[in-house]
Every structure is written in C-alpha cells, then in structure tokens.
Amino acid sequence: MHDPNWYWRNFNLDKDLNYLAQVDGMTSALSTNLMPTVSHGAKFIFYHGWADQALNPLRTIMYYDDVVERFGKQHTDSFMRVFMVPGMQHCTGGTVATDRADYIGALEQWLDTGVAPTRIDAPHVQGGVTTRTRPLCAYPLVARFTGAQGASIDDAANFSCVADQ
C-alpha cells in the first residue's frame, strides 16, 4: 500500500487480500463512530451522484441511515448532511447533472453560522454557460417543482425541498 513502485497487475490474491484485510480501517468507510471528530465540532457534507457508475449511490444512503440509527436523526442532523445529485456520475459529470455545487461554501457557512444547509442550489454548466440550476436537497428531502404553470424547470427558484412521498 505504501510502495510507490507497486503495480496493480502484480496483485497477488493470496498475499495482497490478507494485507487489505489488515488495513481495512484505512481503506473503507463503514464505521459510524464519528464522535471523536464530532466532539471537536466537525461537520460533514457528503454528496453522491445518483448516476455513479463506480460506487453504488445506495451505499451512501445506507451509511447515512446507519449513522442515524446510531445517533438518532436529531443528533445526526447537527453534524451531517447528505446531498444526492440527480444525473451526476462518479464525483462529477453527466449530460444534465447539476454537478457544480459549492459544498465548501455551504460547509464554511454551516461552521460560521451554526445553521446546517438543507438546500444547495447547483448549476449545470455546458460550454462555460449555465444551462440550468436545480436545488440539491439534504437527504431525505427531495426537490419538487413548485413553480407556477409555465415557470421554467431549469430554474432552481421554482423548486422546493420536501419530504418524499
């Protein structure tokens, strides 16, 4: 793992799989024991694309649910937010994904004001031009069109974050 000359084609199932089991705590994110960090005031914003072809987005939802089970919804909401991004592939991209959200700005504002984000408006940019904006809603909320008849579906202002039905 710490060998800069390691080459993936030399992976030895018998030897390397045992090593991965030894370092599992460093290579997986299954533990919900976040208190050592949360007790120091840490906040977490997770985001995941619903169209992620590399990592199952439902695993992020399952992790969030595990954290809620451990700490309860109210306590979890005090330090963690999950934003699921429709159409976004692995970390970024997608033909219509609004994948340019300012997560760092949202995190900084949360730390500065103590108010957790429930919504982050995010653009889809194509050829340097913003073609649409949509709200990313803190899970389990979802974006629902609430604009007037004829209002643009490409404008985040015409959506509200609501409980899924």
Do residues 49 and 87 lie in contact, with contact meaning Cβ atoms separated by under 8 Å?
Answer: yes
pLDDT digits (tens, 9 = 90+) for 82-130: 999 999 998 888 888 888 999 999 999 999 999 999 999 999 998 999 9
Q: Spell out the domain ranges in the chain.
A: 31-163
**pTM (predicted TM-score):** 0.82
Distant-in-sequence, close-in-space partners of 12: CB < 8 Å, separation ≥ 6: none
